[in-house]
Structure 1
């Protein structure tokens, strides 16, 4: 067996941060090795400084949004009954009832390490809840590496679990539905005897297709602890798998557009499957949202599309020169819809936010065109002051943008069938915006990360509308062009180019919005946008956190103020910043990715691609009060793994944690693993639960 060196000694390709080349290949099709798709000449940050008057913006007030009150609950009913049941209680709503406390986090932080296991603080424990291949749909065969099949995988837990959430199934907090995204596959780590993607059998490709999508799994609490487990096999009536072949439908203004029509779907209303599902969001009416991210890598044949379609495809990272781009997934061998020469519009059918009703296993997932099409990290929801739905979204690409959507209609309170039916339509029509940031100290930003003389990276900004209802607000573009080619529409109106905006999450306590800017090593490079106050560091390999305060404390506002509370990296590095907190007391943090809030309003940060030489992990930080900026590492994952997502249940007793691609280190394979987590044989992505041994709240 080849000897594997610790992660911090492995060679790292320039531009990949702390990721292995293998991760870059399979997760995003080597996006960092190619020029950024955004080649627009829309004004850079420095060019628009002063365009929006700071005097014209109102400082945000206190609570930024109405949070829906706790609704009714739903029993563990069969699919048809679940569809007619009352709306479930919503975790975000429950969090608003927990006293804020001091904001202090009492656990002792985990030191950086490269150990091949999950490390949690003293006084805590963890266990594996579900791993790749475990049974989801009742009757799925027991998983074996040497006996895989596409039919079995379509009923088993998928590969590379990412964003996750739980929804209640009873009033006692003892049973719940776990919903998990499965972002991508790594065939090196899946199939014994793997050599190259070209050598895969058609059946192996179909297995990979079935390993994408989502899982819905009934889970139950173990005794009175914070540990959870899958329910007994006979009680899994709501369990479900969504794959790359599941039937879905389009909603909203672009549904039926010629840009979405194919020979298999001449009306442009239905689509098969979901790809590269990264982060998501939970709605107040008890459905989940899932974002399709790096879908471009699944398509070949871009050279053969009509000439007028090539610029739009290229803007989304699709190769329009080579028939078979390097690193393509070879899916066209199993399904010709992934060959754009034969199906030039098929790529337009991915890159959306889909909504799934997890309480009804017979429901059809819906892709909402009103929320725009780009490389969605996810969509996080809060309510405006007047009860409309506001969804925040990031486009995960170097030099791309932050977006938000505000619904036309207001949410109806109540848990009856009529209220829920109404609320299920809220994401079908509204206003789609893209963010433009203005600075207070633009002339002082030199790319070094040095704070301006006012002591903060901060400024004002505005949300630029792209579409409202069925109307395009971008000159020269129709409504379906704006929504299908949202990146091109945004390029025309001058938003700020950001450093890979990933998860964008509103704090349910304050309404303030937090965005994870993961990294951008091309910031300030020759021919690339220079550092600016919203992206203040050149060669930004560690990323930062952005805080947005909407005007008048209303998340539907079109103007805002902003600041950067955390500039990530080694606290000893002068270019880092932790909201003014004593840097000798904070944990090193690199490459923030996914965000969540606990019941006290503390921000929990999952990292992806730690460029400091240690394993990725989960971090917590108060964002209000005297402890603001005190980042503490709560957990580390095995080498090669991404700490993909975490969800703290409403009573703060359990953290559900997604450990993605353990052992994804160059040269590794399922036959020659670089990690043996979680079961001691070879690496398998898995969801774990973490709880406090004394039964008290996590963190506090």
Structure 2
């Protein structure tokens, strides 16, 4: 990155302080240097062991009534209202054949060096992009020209740094047409634009590259790869000028009213979108995560500190152009309160108003994933992606109605909100060691924050609980986790899987020490929690265990793979996004690897049942400095999709470090007009 661009965007306080393959640029642009600042959660809530002091099928009908059954190809948790219990009627048919019955057979790849600028896939597979940053998605939109970018063009082109993605087949097209949803988490102006571009133009184009995209896909038949369709009727970009409706108890509250929205009900734009989920009624959920990095604030209140809001200039400095990004300005004191929610989008109605659901709470949502409980209520799980923050669950007030899509699209607007407390059962637990009973496990409680429309937090109203959710949760004593990222309920068993990415500050600098649910101090590699609800999906108690304590077992003896031999697994670090295949195996994409592994991020399959439970197999690796996001596993078609985010992050416009995905043969001259810069993309990997 050039010095000129770094000065423009104030980017790199983490330079020289990152470990492994994590880029200081990523730290600055993605999460506002969260690791360089103070820990946001300094609450003194209790812990169960503070060592410091001692179901529906893979392609399921989603209730479109006369419009036909919408077939879904899922990377997220969707199930029917039938019980989701092992061996019960909620099991998808393929799951009853056994977890090893997947048609996607592959030989695991070896770990790939972090400096390799390539997509590495198993023998017999090939890959190609579905859509890249800058691809024109509307008729009349200019082709992407990296040297001549404008905000007007970018508003009609695929955005930057796609994270969550899913593909939903269009009814009655025999599997030949679908919509692709992707969100766009953040931008890296230093490699996107020439250093000579005026700063105001950088800000405008960068802002247009945020948001969400819906793009139609087509293919000749189910054995062929997908291509996107320019000018298709369902294509849509969601921009910072797009209006979102706020739902739930916070709508109309004085806590979200601004000079531009005196009613407190309609919000412009969405920011920091990370992971997401697909609902049983065919809408998409997306989590607003690191929104704090877009706002200047006084930075002095407990609220500001708890949410990471500061008075320093933001990296992108949108506050220069729009007063609403400076909450010190009169009339905009509440603007930041309008971000940090779960967004719901209808990809089949390009005229619809997207929604932000306040009932699911406001924090750094990695995403949200929905499953229908045995009693027909909708349950959504969500992690707050910051060190020492919490795991949450929402239970709808109303019931899912098969075939009534309009009704089901209201289910996330009202319900109960809980936060998780974990209790271990090992009296002899020691940090970094497998307990004497052979497993990390125990029980837990869902502690109430809002129930039956009433606040369960002393001296806080419902509106305050749902706007200041972190502060509300602090008071009831949940367990501080190691960055809960994606949280996925299995549509085969009803079990819930939580990706805890890492937490290098656990046990140091006055922070809490390891506990059985977060079993390592200086946790560089992360772990996966498996939850079994005690009395159904809407239960207030649960059992839990750790499926994996991640790392490279060749160099780290604290790793754990549910008893599977450690010398037979692929090393894995920093789990981020989760998905399931059609027979219930878990797939994990990774982000960061700040560990001894020093390898490229990738996508990994994990067997969940039987003699090979805990077996980790690496399927692919992404290019240098890239993160693997948004996995979608179509194992019935022997195809996998991932979003490749921030390839070549440490480069500059003049000295790029990746040319993904537009590689040319070694020694060849790029074709005339060939873009020679990294372009974040959704790619597909298939037999070929």
**TM-score, length of structure 2 as denominator length:** 0.89
The question of 1:335 aligning with 2:322 is answered: yes
Deviation at 1:123, TM superposition (A): 1.5
- For residues 558 and 71 of structure 2, the distance between their equivalents in structure 1, rounded to whole angstroms, comes to 43
> Quick check: 1:253–1:469 contact (8 Å CA) kept in 2?
no
Deviation at 1:93, TM superposition (A): 5.2
Q: Aligned ranges for residues 108-127 of structure 1 at < 5 Å?
A: 108-114=107-113, 115-127=116-128
> Quick check: 2:68–2:171 contact (8 Å CA) kept in 1?
no
Deviation at 1:96, TM superposition (A): 2.0
Deviation at 1:222, TM superposition (A): 4.3
Structure 2: give runs of 5+ residues left out of the alignment: 3-13, 81-90, 664-675
> Quick check: 2:419–2:447 contact (8 Å CA) kept in 1?
yes
Q: Aligned ranges for residues 213-252 of structure 1 at < 5 Å?
A: 213-231=211-229, 233-234=230-231, 236-252=232-248
Residues 311 and 559 (structure 1), Cα distance of their counterparts in 2 relative to 1, 3 Å cut: same
Give the stretch that moved more between structures: 168-177 or 207-216: 168-177
- For residues 15 and 318 of structure 2, the distance between their equivalents in structure 1, rounded to whole angstroms, comes to 28
2:6 is matched with none
Q: Aligned ranges for residues 364-513 of structure 1 at < 5 Å?
A: 364-414=353-403, 419-441=404-426, 443-447=427-431, 449-513=432-496
Deviation at 1:328, TM superposition (A): 3.1
- For residues 39 and 471 of structure 1, the distance between their equivalents in structure 2, rounded to whole angstroms, comes to 27
> Quick check: 1:380–1:392 contact (8 Å CA) kept in 2?
yes
1:314 is matched with 305
2:157 is matched with 156
Match of 1:35 among 28, 38, 58: 38
Deviation at 1:370, TM superposition (A): 0.4
Which secondary structure does the structure 2 equivalent of 1:542 belong to? coil
> Quick check: 1:68–1:413 contact (8 Å CA) kept in 2?
no
The question of 1:588 aligning with 2:591 is answered: no
Match of 2:206 among 194, 205, 208: 208
Match of 1:178 among 167, 176, 180: 180
- For residues 634 and 181 of structure 2, the distance between their equivalents in structure 1, rounded to whole angstroms, comes to 13
- For residues 375 and 605 of structure 1, the distance between their equivalents in structure 2, rounded to whole angstroms, comes to 20
- For residues 467 and 613 of structure 2, the distance between their equivalents in structure 1, rounded to whole angstroms, comes to 40
Match of 2:296 among 300, 317, 328: 300
The question of 1:70 aligning with 2:73 is answered: no
> Quick check: 2:547–2:614 contact (8 Å CA) kept in 1?
yes
1:570 is matched with 552
1:168 is matched with 169
- For residues 444 and 527 of structure 2, the distance between their equivalents in structure 1, rounded to whole angstroms, comes to 18
Deviation at 1:524, TM superposition (A): 0.6
Match of 2:71 among 79, 82, 89: 89
Deviation at 1:69, TM superposition (A): 8.8
Which secondary structure does the structure 2 equivalent of 1:570 belong to? coil
Match of 1:557 among 539, 543, 567: 539
The question of 1:527 aligning with 2:510 is answered: yes
- For residues 97 and 428 of structure 2, the distance between their equivalents in structure 1, rounded to whole angstroms, comes to 38
Deviation at 1:135, TM superposition (A): 1.2
Residues 93 and 650 (structure 1), Cα distance of their counterparts in 2 relative to 1, 3 Å cut: farther
- For residues 371 and 135 of structure 1, the distance between their equivalents in structure 2, rounded to whole angstroms, comes to 34
2:88 is matched with none
Structure 1: give runs of 5+ residues left out of the alignment: 3-10, 50-64, 75-82, 694-700
Which secondary structure does the structure 2 equivalent of 1:498 belong to? coil
> Quick check: 2:63–2:405 contact (8 Å CA) kept in 1?
no
Deviation at 1:99, TM superposition (A): 4.3
- For residues 62 and 493 of structure 2, the distance between their equivalents in structure 1, rounded to whole angstroms, comes to 24
The question of 1:677 aligning with 2:673 is answered: no
1:660 is matched with 645
Match of 2:195 among 193, 196, 210: 193
- For residues 428 and 518 of structure 2, the distance between their equivalents in structure 1, rounded to whole angstroms, comes to 13
2:87 is matched with none
1:692 is matched with 687
Deviation at 1:189, TM superposition (A): 1.3
Residues 250 and 650 (structure 1), Cα distance of their counterparts in 2 relative to 1, 3 Å cut: farther
- For residues 327 and 358 of structure 2, the distance between their equivalents in structure 1, rounded to whole angstroms, comes to 21
Residues 636 and 67 (structure 1), Cα distance of their counterparts in 2 relative to 1, 3 Å cut: closer
- For residues 527 and 428 of structure 1, the distance between their equivalents in structure 2, rounded to whole angstroms, comes to 39
Which secondary structure does the structure 2 equivalent of 1:24 belong to? helix
Which secondary structure does the structure 1 equivalent of 2:405 belong to? helix
Residues 141 and 359 (structure 1), Cα distance of their counterparts in 2 relative to 1, 3 Å cut: same
The question of 1:536 aligning with 2:519 is answered: yes
Deviation at 1:335, TM superposition (A): 1.3
Which secondary structure does the structure 2 equivalent of 1:475 belong to? coil
Residues 382 and 132 (structure 1), Cα distance of their counterparts in 2 relative to 1, 3 Å cut: same
- For residues 369 and 67 of structure 1, the distance between their equivalents in structure 2, rounded to whole angstroms, comes to 30
**Between Structure 1 and Structure 2, how many residues are aligned?**
638
- For residues 369 and 139 of structure 2, the distance between their equivalents in structure 1, rounded to whole angstroms, comes to 31
Give the stretch that moved more between structures: 280-289 or 468-477: 468-477
> Quick check: 2:390–2:478 contact (8 Å CA) kept in 1?
yes
Deviation at 1:16, TM superposition (A): 5.2
Residues 329 and 302 (structure 1), Cα distance of their counterparts in 2 relative to 1, 3 Å cut: farther
**TM-score, length of structure 1 as denominator length:** 0.88
Deviation at 1:219, TM superposition (A): 0.4
RMSD: 2.2
Cα deviation per residue 1:79-114 (whole Å; 9 max; x = unaligned)?
xxxx99456233445992324444337411111113
The question of 1:354 aligning with 2:343 is answered: yes
Which secondary structure does the structure 2 equivalent of 1:259 belong to? helix
Residues 180 and 570 (structure 1), Cα distance of their counterparts in 2 relative to 1, 3 Å cut: same
Deviation at 1:627, TM superposition (A): 1.4
Which secondary structure does the structure 2 equivalent of 1:444 belong to? coil
Cα deviation per residue 1:574-607 (whole Å; 9 max; x = unaligned)?
1001111111110000000000000010000000
> Quick check: 1:604–1:618 contact (8 Å CA) kept in 2?
yes
Residues 72 and 254 (structure 1), Cα distance of their counterparts in 2 relative to 1, 3 Å cut: closer
- For residues 320 and 517 of structure 2, the distance between their equivalents in structure 1, rounded to whole angstroms, comes to 44
The question of 1:254 aligning with 2:250 is answered: yes
Give the stretch that moved more between structures: 39-48 or 462-471: 39-48
2:603 is matched with 618
Deviation at 1:523, TM superposition (A): 0.6
Deviation at 1:375, TM superposition (A): 0.1
> Quick check: 2:529–2:544 contact (8 Å CA) kept in 1?
yes
Deviation at 1:71, TM superposition (A): 2.0
